[in-house]
């Protein structure tokens, strides 16, 4: 065989090894960057007890998901019981919600009775904007009386934490 043929094969093998080595180094750098990002601490929040009720046409509704959405912090959730009462909790942090401003949304859950109709506007637009306060003696209890046939005035109100 021709010596140049073998030189070409060796040269080709070396370039493949070099390319593979470069790709391995890049992959290692990416993995290291991801691991460094995973090691960052999550923010901590001082949680405040938040409770309330959800009513539909003045009657308590069971198995309704109440969501307090914050534009800057953790979101809090609660599920209503047979009396329409809920208590918020913040996933990964515990019972309560951080003090701050929220848009409250109310939506059906898998356990909601099929015959119960909650207008989608309460999920899409929200029910109210509320401020959860951590001031001494603040009562963070919110009652949402939804209407089965809401008019525009029923869809979104402002509330500063006082009921």
Please state the domain count of the chain: 2
Residues 94 and 18 placed together within one structural domain of the fold: no
The mean pLDDT of the chain is: 80
Distance of CA 108 to the CA centre of its chain: 16
Q: Is residue 119 part of a domain?
A: yes
CATH number at residue 146: 2.60.40.1120
**95 and 59 share a domain?**
yes
SS (H, E, C) 113-131: CCCCCCCCHHHHCCCEEEE
At 43, list the tokens: 């923010």
Q: What is the pLDDT of residues 33-74, one digit of tens each?
A: 666 555 556 667 789 999 999 999 999 999 999 999 998 888
Torsion of CA 156, 159, 162, 163, to 10 degrees: -10
> Is residue 19 assigned to a domain?
yes
Task: Please give the pLDDT value at position 121.
Answer: 81
pLDDT at residue 130, rounded to an integer: 93
Asked whether residue 86 is domain-assigned, the answer is yes
**Is residue 128 included in any domain, yes or no?**
yes
Domain-located, residue 6: yes
pTM exceeds 0.85 for this model = no
**What's the pLDDT at 14?**
54
Indicate if 121 and 146 belong to the same structural domain. Answer: yes
Q: pLDDT band at residue 159, thresholds of 50, 70 and 90?
A: very low
Q: Which domain holds residue 84?
A: 47-158
pLDDT at 1 over 60: no
Check whether residue 33 and residue 72 sit in a common domain. Answer: no
Closest CA to 140 of 82, 94, 95: 95
Residues 27 and 98 in one domain: no
Quick one: 82 and 30 in the same domain? no
Indicate whether 163 belongs to any domain: no
In this structure, is residue 104 part of a structural domain? yes
Confirm if 140 and 133 have CB atoms less than 8 A apart. yes
Q: Please give the pLDDT value at position 119.
A: 85
Q: What's the pLDDT tens digit per position in 8-41?
A: 555 545 555 566 667 677 666 766 666 655 555 6
Average pLDDT over residues 150-159: 63
């Amino acid at each position: 065989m021709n010596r140049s043929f073998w030189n070409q094969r060796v040269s080709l093998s070396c370039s493949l090894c070099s390319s593979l080595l470069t790709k391995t180094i890049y992959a290692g750098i990416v993995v290291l960057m991801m691991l460094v990002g995973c090691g960052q601490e999550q923010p901590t929040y001082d949680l405040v007890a938040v409770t309330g009720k959800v009513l539909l046409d003045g009657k308590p509704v069971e198995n309704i998901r109440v969501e307090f959405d914050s534009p800057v912090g953790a979101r809090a959730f609660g599920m209503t019981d047979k009396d329409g009462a809920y208590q918020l909790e913040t996933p990964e942090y515990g019972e309560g919600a951080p003090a701050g401003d929220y848009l409250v949304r109310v939506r059906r859950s898998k356990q909601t009775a099929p015959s119960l109709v909650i207008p989608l506007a309460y999920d899409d637009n929200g029910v109210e904007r509320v401020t959860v306060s951590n001031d001494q003696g603040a009562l963070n209890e919110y009652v949402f009386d939804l209407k089965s046939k809401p008019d525009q005035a029923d869809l979104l109100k402002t509330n500063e934490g006082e009921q």
